[in-house]
């Protein structure tokens, strides 16, 4: 076995499989484990995804939130063991892959239009969108299996 294949197998074992599908522009809550001495607690950071980069084990997301008169931006490793859970709060309707223009804005200027018609149960892949045709085909296949 080549060294590259060995590294890929080790990384594949460490990838998380409970990450919900989300895109840039969505508002998500990241539940982060924080260890203080011998105690462990969960801290929740809710923000808008302004960037998603990388792939595999080193994939990162940048979250932005404006609170208490200051903009806060945090970068998280998506497959980090310190992240307990990720929840999608709302889906955003954007046409760019990086939303760095949100950094200096607050109030109505930093709002992103919500994507209406998104159904969480039928989310597929990273895109998180399923067409009506795909939904009908999936419904037919499940009925045929019964």
Sign of CA dihedral 48, 30, 58, 37: positive
User: How much of the chain, in percent, has pLDDT values that exceed 70?
Assistant: 80
Backbone phi, psi, residue 68, to 5°: 55, 40
Tokens at residue 145, please? 């299996």
What's the distance, Cα to Cα, between the start and end of the chain in Å? 43
pLDDT at 122: 43
User: Over 70: is that where the pLDDT of 124 sits?
Assistant: no
CB distance 70 to 112 below 8 Å: no
Dump pLDDT digits (tens) for 57-106: 889 999 999 888 888 899 999 999 999 999 999 998 888 889 888 887 77
The topology (CATH level 3) of 16-115 is SH3 type barrels. (2.30.30)
pLDDT at 129: 52
pLDDT at 43: 95
**Structure-derived torsion over alpha carbons of residues 91, 94, 100, 104, reported in degrees to the nearest 10:** -80
User: Over 50: is that where the pLDDT of 131 sits?
Assistant: yes
C-alpha–C-alpha distance, residues 123 and 97, integer Å: 19
User: Over 70: is that where the pLDDT of 29 sits?
Assistant: yes
Q: Which of 10, 104, 37 is nearest to 64 (CA)?
A: 104
Kindly list the domain boundaries of the chain, sorted by start residue: 16-115
CB distance 84 to 34 below 8 Å: no
Dump pLDDT digits (tens) for 37-69: 999 999 999 999 999 998 888 899 999 998 888
Helices (H), 21-95: none
Which pTM was predicted?
Answer: 0.71
Least confident interval from 5-19, 110-124, 129-143: 129-143
C-alpha–C-alpha distance, residues 103 and 60, integer Å: 18
């Amino acid at each position: 076995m080549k060294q590259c294949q060995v590294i890929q197998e080790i990384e594949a074992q460490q990838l998380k499989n409970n990450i919900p599908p989300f895109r840039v522009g969505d508002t998500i809550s990241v539940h982060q484990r924080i260890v203080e001495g011998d105690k462990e607690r969960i801290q929740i950071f809710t923000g808008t995804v302004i960037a998603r980069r990388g792939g595999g084990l080193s994939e990162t997301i940048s979250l932005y939130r404006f609170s208490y008169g200051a903009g806060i931006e945090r970068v998280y490793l998506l497959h980090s063991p310190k992240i307990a859970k990720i929840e999608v709060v709302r889906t955003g309707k954007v046409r760019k892959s990086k939303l760095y223009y949100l950094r200096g804005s607050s109030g109505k200027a930093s709002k992103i239009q919500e994507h209406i018609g998104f159904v969480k149960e039928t989310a597929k892949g990273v895109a998180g969108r399923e067409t009506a045709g795909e939904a009908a085909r999936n419904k037919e296949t499940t009925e045929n299996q019964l």
